[in-house]
Chain A
Amino acid sequence: MTGKTILEVRKLTATVSGVEILKGIDLTVHAGEVHAIMGPNGSGKSTLAKVLAGHPAYTVTGGEVLFEGSNLFELAPPERARAGLFLGFQYPIEVPGVSNSAFLRLAYNTVQGARGKDELDPLEFDDYIQDKLKLLEMDPAFLERSVNEGFSGGEKKRNEILQMAILEPKLAILDEADSGLDIDALRIVAGGVNELRSDNNALILVTHYQRLLNYIVPDFVHVMEAGRIIKTGGKDLALQLEDRGYDWVAEEYRAKAA
């Protein structure tokens, strides 16, 4: 049974500094689904993630995106976040001098507050976040450190999933959630993500490698190349890609197009 449609991307094109990176993306994501977007470097995977989240460096030049049936591009980036769109960053940003707890609480109060939940004061928030920390096996001491400053690669990625856990998005797009993780950290991150999955939310994993998909099993695997999705398959497609690389998919696509 298919859940309700969360994201509908139609013929999306976008540029950065005048260069077209997305050349017509079509993608539909329903509640309860996990989509993996794979593809070589420079194929436009991260761009798609950033365009959906509203990064100001990118310009949408065509197509449309519906988020739960409404035009996503009518929402400013903070409104998209409040509406339930979450981007887990490939390179989480450091914010020196701002404590992680203050940052997380502000994010919680802003996003959950927009959904009618009560704002939490520092003490209430401290109680609230303990379970989430356990989920990601994080030391509470890390709340007092500056946001991402001096964090190891694994800590930064866990911090992203922690934010996903407290913001409870309807659609989480995780950009290279596994890059830079050792096997233990990968297991923790993937375990956290799986814990957060439900029939009401959906997940897009942007990744280079199959190994993450051993832990978070996708319903659909999309291959991107040169700004387009050129092939879509089930979870087995990821294994094929692992074996054979991307070139054969591109050849097949060009043969079909010709």
Chain B
Amino acid sequence: MSSAALQNLVNQPYKHGFVTDIEADVTPKGLNEDTIRAISRKKEEPEWLLEFRLQAYRHWLTMTEPTWPNVKYPRIDFQDISYYSAPKPKKLASMDEVDPELIRTFEKLGVPLHEQKALAGVAVDVIFDSVSVATTYKARLAEVGVIFCSMSEAVRDHPELVRKYLGSVVPPADNFYAALNSAVFTDGSFCYIPKGVTCPMELSTYFRINTQDSGQFERTLIVAEEGSYVSYLEGCTAPKFDTNQLHAAVVELVTLDDAEIKYSTVQNWYAGDQNGVGGIYNFVTKRGLCKGVNSKISWTQVETGSAITWKYPSCVLLGDNSIGEFYSVALTNHHQQADTGTKMIHVGKNTRSTIISKGISAGVSNNSYRGLVKIGAKAQGARNFSQCDSMLIGDKCGANTFPYIQVNNSSATVEHEASTSKIGEDQLFYFAQRGVGADEAISMIINGFCKDVFTQLPMEFAVEATKLLGLKLEGSVG
């Protein structure tokens, strides 16, 4: 009985699996320099950006797909993907021109595009397949000098900023998928927080893949100038298809002196069906550069979707006294695979990092934490604390932890803790004997397990995250 209840709870049906019937401008499948030129032309890009793409592409051709992650999938045919898909009409001057079908789509997903109906205090940039379709609250943000727009607009309206920072944290040749993204990225979000400004609302990007044969290659760039602060959220969903779609994004964050970026993700891409057919390949490069002294970058992620999740949101702690944080919950079920974790690269003096990772495996899934803590020779007094906990539900799933620790400075302190636990018959019986059914018991156990991460999420996201895990919050919130 207990295992049946466990199954029900972790087998929540995917609610975002519908396809929007909308006319799209899709480039033919295949990738070569002409494809890249075509994307660049469609987006009316400046010459330097086309050059950026072509260099990345040429380098990508020399690279081979990495095979070291603890995941298995058939080779991807990069010529069988369409690299650009945009809903028509693509040029939008105002919200009124957005296709009503699109507006309905996002309302269905709980992301209203009209500002009157929008989430209070959250500005949203909405990416549908390859392009940004709407950004809310732009005017209000502009009053304090915050730039929040699609990457395409940023290239057009703020080319000097984009040129300065694009590729500065994740260089085009960084890795196979970053190179591919640099060559073919189509849109994404751009945020710029000027000196001394605390962004007056949460910024959020909502990603939606809609087309069956297109990949999504978005690029996000957030720059926080001296003494500024921003909290940024991203959410992701996709329709159910029986084929796999590739999502290879790049996210770059830069904080200058005393600045802070808090970046939260609730990832719920379609995970494939119970037999492992379909689902998104989520191969993403996310990295933040704490460039200035006393700056801080904090990653919080709740990863519940995707057939395969393969990403390591990282921090390069360059500025003295800078802080990097990584809080992660990764849930895998059925045939899902996840190889995720972080890299904390300590370069500056007295830099500090914290890693809290919670992996939950159910079904026949495989869940790996992989993390690097590197203390450079000049990182005097650097400190790291890592805690990697795994929870197994049932006995057919797997959990692995691969910590890599490199310390080149003897004054550094590095701590690593790890644990593995299992929701067992005895735990559930204990709850049952106190009148509490299995659903509620599992909910409470998982919530307790993930508490250290959920408390890092902004409120609305924490609620969505707990719901996503098929759970209820402990009644004692507040």
Contacts and interface: CB of A to CB of B under 8 A. Distances in A.
A105 interface: yes
18 contacts: A53-B433, A54-B432, A78-B431, A78-B433, A80-B433, A81-B434, A93-B426, A97-B445, A99-B448, A102-B444, A102-B475, A106-B436, A110-B436, A111-B434, A114-B435, A122-B475, A167-B434, A167-B435
Contacts of A51: none
B18 interface: no
Contact of B451 (A97, A101, A103): A97
A56 B432 CA distance: 11
A35 interface: no
B1 A103 contact: no
A102 B451 CA distance: 13
B196 interface: no
Contacts of B1: 56, 76
Nearest to A98: B448
Q: Which of A56, A107, A114 has the most CB of B within 10 A?
A: A56
Contacts of B429: 53-56, 77, 93
Contact of A95 (B430, B437, B451, B474): B430
A19 B478 CA distance: 50
A120 to B, nearest CB: 10
Contacts of A97: 445, 447-451
A151 interface: no
A77 B475 contact: no
A146 B436 contact: no
Interface string B443-459: 01101111100000000
Nearest to B432: A77
Q: Which of A55, A96, A97, A121 has the most CB of B within 10 A?
A: A97
Interface in A80-101: 80-82, 86-87, 89, 92-93, 95-99, 101
Contacts of B425: 56-57
List 6 A-B pairs, minimum CB-CB distance, nearest first. Answer: A97-B448, A107-B434, A98-B448, A77-B432, A110-B435, A93-B430
A111 B435 contact: yes
Contacts of B451: 97
Contact of B444 (A77, A87, A103): A103
Interface of A: 53-57, 76-78, 80-82, 86-87, 89, 92-93, 95-99, 101-103, 105-107, 109-111, 114, 121-122, 146, 163, 167
Q: Which of A122, A146, A163 has the most CB of B within 10 A?
A: A122
Contact of A98 (B2, B444, B475): B444
Nearest to A85: B433
Contacts of A54: 429, 432-433
Contacts of A89: 430, 433
Contacts of A57: 425
Contacts of B436: 78, 106-107, 110
B421 interface: yes
B445 A107 contact: no
Contacts of B450: 97
A96 B435 contact: no
A244 B403 CA distance: 59
Contacts of B432: 54, 76-78, 81
Contacts of B274: none
A81 B433 contact: yes
B62 interface: no
Contact of A163 (B427, B434, B475): B434
A248 to B, nearest CB: 35
Given A54-B433, A80-B433, 15 more contacts: A53-B429, A53-B433, A57-B425, A76-B1, A76-B432, A78-B437, A96-B421, A97-B445, A98-B474, A99-B476, A106-B434, A106-B436, A107-B434, A107-B436, A163-B434
A102 B448 CA distance: 10
A109 to B, nearest CB: 8
